[in-house]
Structure 1
């Protein structure tokens, strides 16, 4: 698998990243171990997790696998803080106290003294952005994180934080992580140009459009899918409408013509973006991950890529409106 440079840093990450949001919930420890071995055997390095995933169980499972299923130094570990579930609902907190506490808790669950990347998981309107920058800077200077970045933040946040870091010795904004697929292209008009101008790496999450680009929802919501689960039905539902259906139909038509699977075509389109460092794929089962890994050798014919560009352009146009 190709390894790509993350922005202007010296860090390289695998073109496909392994997402672990389902670990500890839909994916048990045994299947997680198989996924991790298959991923690293295919040349994958970037493993993306968060303290909020399954209330920390995702990190606990991953931590137990370090040194047994894989060697810690063979992975680029990325975790996130600043978001937690409480009895009152989701709490976003990017204060210095919350971020550094979250990071320390993640390190304990992962069983390591540092992560390769620590990201702020969501914007916090209640905390001054300068305080968040200070916390991230301290994460690096204290050795708990080698690189830091933002997840799900705007282009304005990206520019401001990058500018503030330019004044800090030895600390830079390494990455922005944002949803990106054929069904989520709005970032191409603002976040991507900002990241390119600032030398910040772009990591795309939910590279298969929350599972919809596999084509499995074309005939309805199948039992056992994320769209049928109580926890994730609302996550999938926005991509089950008519606009997304036309994109999925085009992907399936292209896949049939190429003799490949729809998810391979969708991932190949995304991996061809020259600004993208890594596309994160979260799989519930080892079989789903193996199917995704099959996309790394697929190069789409230019005519197919352009056709998919055109049919999926609606997301960018709606973002401009």
Structure 2
């Protein structure tokens, strides 16, 4: 699998990342081991996890796999932690962030994160305090690089400018946002800000929460996320009339190229300007292998233009 630098930083990751949102719930240790082993064997490195995935269960499962089946040095761990606030302060307070980081490291069974993704933008806490937590984490060896999750364009720019004033280690190298043919929200502001400040975009839900694979074109498969009581609202948000037209275009493109709709949708977002990696989740190793097959697909310019046109809502 090919690799890319994250923005203008020295951090290098596989251009397809593995998300762990369902680990600890729908995905147990055995299936997680099979997935991560297949991912690493195919050259994948970027593994994304968060405290909110199963209230820490995903990180515990990932930690067990790293301890028993996959070498820690073979993966780039992008982790999120953070507590909702309390005695240590609000969500972006230094004490809260560092306590959350330590909890993440404990669950993962590692002494550092390769990429610490700060959860959100908390206007209640001085930005200098939040960024000082990054300094402490980097200088103590617990973090190699820091990024943001879900920032608006102005928020990313503000953090980048403040970070430069405080020192290079506090400048974010990444921004993780939802981005796909069904969600092009980052394009007007976030992507230009990321390109300007040398920040790499990590695109989550690049398959439109599964809708772009075409699996929901004729209904809801019983074994899909859309059939899960917990995840059905997550999927339904992307099942609209406009989405149906985009899915039809993706299916047509896939048929013409002799590939899968999954590969077409993933290749489109992966090669958008500023995107460092597209993060996919999978039910099992076979589904993950299908996603990794998109690594070799380069969309012809005319097909990319057609997909741009049908999915443009501006």
Contact 2:176 2:204 in 1 (8 A): yes
User: In structure 1, what is the Cα distance between the partners aligned to 2:134 and 2:155?
Assistant: 14
1:84: Cα distance to partner? Answer: 5.8
User: In structure 1, what is the Cα distance between the partners aligned to 2:168 and 2:161?
Assistant: 13
Structure 2: where are the runs of 5+ without partners? none
1:83: Cα distance to partner? Answer: 5.6
What corresponds to 1:271 in structure 2? 270
Contact 2:82 2:101 in 1 (8 A): no
| Structure 2 residue matching 1:239: 3-state secondary structure | coil
What corresponds to 1:167 in structure 2? 165
Deviations 1:16-45 (A, max 9, x none): 000000100111111100100111111100
User: In structure 2, what is the Cα distance between the partners aligned to 1:166 and 1:79?
Assistant: 23
What corresponds to 1:43 in structure 2? 43
Structure 1: where are the runs of 5+ without partners? 86-91
| Structure 1 residue matching 2:80: 3-state secondary structure | strand
1:170: Cα distance to partner? Answer: 3.9
What corresponds to 2:62 in structure 1? 62
Contact 2:173 2:199 in 1 (8 A): yes
The Cα RMSD (Å) is 1.7
User: In structure 2, what is the Cα distance between the partners aligned to 1:83 and 1:264?
Assistant: 36
What corresponds to 1:242 in structure 2? 241
User: In structure 2, what is the Cα distance between the partners aligned to 1:265 and 1:119?
Assistant: 28
User: In structure 1, what is the Cα distance between the partners aligned to 2:282 and 2:124?
Assistant: 34
Deviations 1:184-234 (A, max 9, x none): 112111111111111111111111111111111111222221112121112
Q: How does 1:1-321 map to 2 (within 5 A)?
A: 1-82=1-82, 93-171=91-169, 172-314=171-313, 317=314
1:94: Cα distance to partner? Answer: 2.1
| Structure 2 residue matching 1:256: 3-state secondary structure | helix
| Structure 2 residue matching 1:209: 3-state secondary structure | coil
Contact 2:19 2:49 in 1 (8 A): yes
1:122: Cα distance to partner? Answer: 2.4
1:68: Cα distance to partner? Answer: 2.7
Which is further off, 262-271 or 11-20? 262-271
Q: Structure 2 vs 1, CA of residues 127 and 237 (structure 1 numbering), >3 Å: closer, same or farther?
A: farther
Which is further off, 62-71 or 129-138? 129-138
- Aligned pairs, number: 310
TM-score by length of 2: 0.94
User: In structure 2, what is the Cα distance between the partners aligned to 1:211 and 1:95?
Assistant: 35
Contact 2:207 2:266 in 1 (8 A): yes
